[in-house]
Structure 1
Amino acid sequence: MHKSRKYVPDLVEQSSQCERNYLKLMKLMPLFYDQDEYRYELHSDNGQLGGLKLRVTERFKYTATVEVTQLMDFGEWLPAPTMLVRVYHDARMAEVVAFQNKRRFKGTYDYPNDDMHHKDEKAQLNSFLGQWLNYCMQHGCHIGQVVNFS
C-alpha cells in the first residue's frame, strides 16, 4: 500500500500571493477609501466574457472586506463565482475568506474529505483570486472612470 505524503503549506509563497493580491486590488480600486464599487467588462479575442464587480462591503481602520463577483451567470448548473476577500491594509495583504458562500478554509485538509476540498484549498483560492485579478487588469475595461494600470 502506497502511503501519501502529508501536504505541508508553503507559508512564504502563500504570504507572497496575498501581498500580490493586495497590490492588484489597490490598482483595480484606486479610490478604495472613497468609492465602494468598481465594475469591469472582461474581453477576449472572441468578444465580451461578462464582467467583474469589486464591492467594498466593510471598512475598518486596518481591514476591509471586498466582494468579488463575476457578472455573467450560466444558470443553476454553473453559478457565477463569488468570493469575499479580507484586505489587511497594515500588512498590505488580501486573502480569500469565503468562496461560493463557504467560509473559513483551513490551511490543509485530509484527502479525501466530506467537503471535497483539495489538500491545499486555501492556497488554490488565493491563487485563483490572483489569476482573476490579473485577467481583469490585462483584459478588463473599467465601466465608468478611466483606470490606468501602468
Structure 2
Amino acid sequence: MLKKKRYVPDLQQLSSLAEKNYLRFLKLFPDMEAGAERVFVISSGSSHQARVVIRVEEVHPYTTMLQLVQQGLSPEWIQPPRMQVRLYHDANMAEVLSYQNQRRFEGRYQYPNPTMRLPDEKLQLNRFLADWLDHCLQYGHVDTAFEFLPDLS
C-alpha cells in the first residue's frame, strides 16, 4: 500500500511570491492613500471589457488593506472574483487575506477537509493574485472615468 506524502509548505516560495506581489502593487498603484482607488480596463479585442478595481480600504504606518474586485465578463450567475490583500510595508510583502468572502487561510490543510480546501490553498490564492496583477500590468490601462460602486449584497 502506498503511503500518501504529506504536503509541506515551501516558505521560501511563498515569501518570494509575497514580495513579488508587493512590487506588482507598487507598479500598479504607487500612490496609495485611504479611500483611493485605481481601475484597470482590460479589453479582449472585441467589445468585451473587464474592469479590475483596486481600492485602498485602510492605511496604517506598517500595513495597507486593499480590496480587489473584477467587474464585467462574468455571467450574472457567477460571483466575480473579489479578494482582500494586506500589504506589509516593513517586510515588503503582500498576502491574500480573503477570497470570495472566505477568510483565514492556513498554510496547509489535510485533505479531504470539511471546506474542501486544497493542501496548498494559501499558495494557490497568492499565485492567482500574481497572475491577476500581471494581467493588469500587461493588458490593462487605467480608467479615470470609472467610479467604484460597492456591492451591497
TM (norm. structure 2) is 0.88
Unpaired runs of at least 5, structure 2: 146-153
In structure 2, C-alpha distance between the alignment counterparts of 1:131 and 1:46, rounded to whole Å: 22
Q: Compute the displacement of 1:113 (Å).
A: 1.1
**Which residue is 2:5 aligned to?**
5
Q: Compute the displacement of 1:110 (Å).
A: 0.6
Matched length: 144
In the alignment, is the contact (CA less than 8 A) between 1:67 and 1:83 conserved in 2?
A: yes
Unpaired runs of at least 5, structure 1: 146-150
Equivalent residue runs for 1:42-81 within 5 Å: 42-72=42-72, 73-76=74-77, 78-81=78-81
Q: How many percent identity over aligned positions?
A: 42
Equivalent residue runs for 1:118-129 within 5 Å: 118-129=118-129
Q: Compute the displacement of 1:46 (Å).
A: 4.3
**Which residue is 2:37 aligned to?**
37
In the alignment, is the contact (CA less than 8 A) between 2:59 and 2:65 conserved in 1?
A: yes
Q: Compute the displacement of 1:75 (Å).
A: 1.6
Deviations 1:119-144 (A, max 9, x none): 00000000000000000000001112
For the residue of structure 1 that corresponds to 2:6, the secondary structure is coil
Q: Compute the displacement of 1:35 (Å).
A: 6.6
- Provide the aligned C-alpha RMSD in A: 1.6
Q: 1:45 to 1:88 in 2, by over 3 A?
A: same
In the alignment, is the contact (CA less than 8 A) between 1:21 and 1:129 conserved in 2?
A: yes
In structure 1, C-alpha distance between the alignment counterparts of 2:21 and 2:45, rounded to whole Å: 25
In structure 2, C-alpha distance between the alignment counterparts of 1:52 and 1:113, rounded to whole Å: 32
TM (norm. structure 1) is 0.90
In structure 2, C-alpha distance between the alignment counterparts of 1:2 and 1:37, rounded to whole Å: 51
Q: Compute the displacement of 1:47 (Å).
A: 4.9
Q: Compute the displacement of 1:68 (Å).
A: 0.6
AA in 1 matched with 2:76: G
In structure 2, C-alpha distance between the alignment counterparts of 1:110 and 1:34, rounded to whole Å: 38
Moved more, 60-69 or 46-55: 46-55
Deviations 1:88-140 (A, max 9, x none): 01111001000001110000001111111110000000000000000000000
For the residue of structure 1 that corresponds to 2:90, the secondary structure is coil
In structure 1, C-alpha distance between the alignment counterparts of 2:130 and 2:45, rounded to whole Å: 21
